[in-house]
Amino acid sequence: MIQGIIFDLDGTLLDSMHVWRDVDIDFFKERNRPMPENLQHELNGLSIHAIAAYFKEQFPFFTETEEEYIEIWNRMAYDKYRNSISMKPYAREFLERLSARKVPMALATSNSRKLVEAAFSHHDLEKYILPEHVVTSNEVPNGKPAPDIFLECARRLSVVPEDILVFEDMPEGLLAASKAGMCTCAIRDEYSDYLWNEKVSLSQYQINSYQDVPEDFLTTWKK
């Protein structure tokens, strides 16, 4: 029986992946530089600190430090996370179902703590996921697709990995959860729809939205 649930944030609980595409476009446009066509693919699953390191290495013509990159991106995205980004369809209803059953929940995200807190404030997500059960990639030795972030979530939930179900929208996250020994469910997201076949191959279950999760999934969904 499933004893705990771990969610990714962007593209999984929040309909937010388009924000980062827009941030990248604006960042390059403001500096009069062409944005590489494969940039989003290269950045998939990386923590914001790893992305800053990537920019520092790949784009030496930019003058920002890694810390300045993070500050700029957080500033560019903050207002959207605080005020306008919506949740994925039926996500709140699903969180309510889990909360009513007292299922422990955690969040494993590559996003920054600042933006996570903005989103939690906007959507009142602390009703469902305790702040101490939120883990960001920069708080563990290795980000996704390494299993570290999911193992840390399991430790904080006091649930063994094999009794945890993970909802993820990206292959890197699904691979990380599988490496941690957890059951995985891929959720469809427009931003990563071109990766759907890969996500199917890396997950035990797949849903278009949380409306597709059966009522008895806690007992019927197994690895």
Q: What integer pLDDT is reported at residue 50 of this predicted model?
A: 86
Cβ atoms of 110 and 136 within 8 Å: the answer is: yes
Q: What integer pLDDT is reported at residue 43 of this predicted model?
A: 86
Write out pLDDT tens, residues 63-96. Answer: 999 999 999 999 999 999 999 999 999 999 999 9
Determine which of 14-23, 83-92, 121-130 has the lowest per-residue pLDDT on average: 14-23
DSSP string across 107-119: EEESS-HHHHHHH
Asked whether residue 97 carries a pLDDT value surpassing 90, the answer given is yes
Asked whether residue 25 carries a pLDDT value surpassing 80, the answer given is yes
137-161 mean pLDDT: 95
Cβ atoms of 125 and 94 within 8 Å: the answer is: no
Q: What integer pLDDT is reported at residue 138 of this predicted model?
A: 86
Write out pLDDT tens, residues 167-194. Answer: 999 999 999 999 999 999 999 999 889 9
CATH of 4-16+85-218, one of 3.40.50.1360, 3.40.50.1000, 3.40.50.700, 3.40.50.300: 3.40.50.1000
Q: What integer pLDDT is reported at residue 130 of this predicted model?
A: 97
Burial of 78 (C-beta count, 10 Å sphere; 0-12/13-18/19+): middle
pLDDT band at 107 (very low <50, low <70, confident <90, very high): very high
Asked whether residue 44 carries a pLDDT value surpassing 80, the answer given is no
* Residue-averaged pLDDT of the chain: 94
pLDDT band at 62 (very low <50, low <70, confident <90, very high): very high
Q: What integer pLDDT is reported at residue 46 of this predicted model?
A: 76
pLDDT band at 212 (very low <50, low <70, confident <90, very high): very high
What is the dihedral sign for C-alpha 81, 87, 91, 97? positive
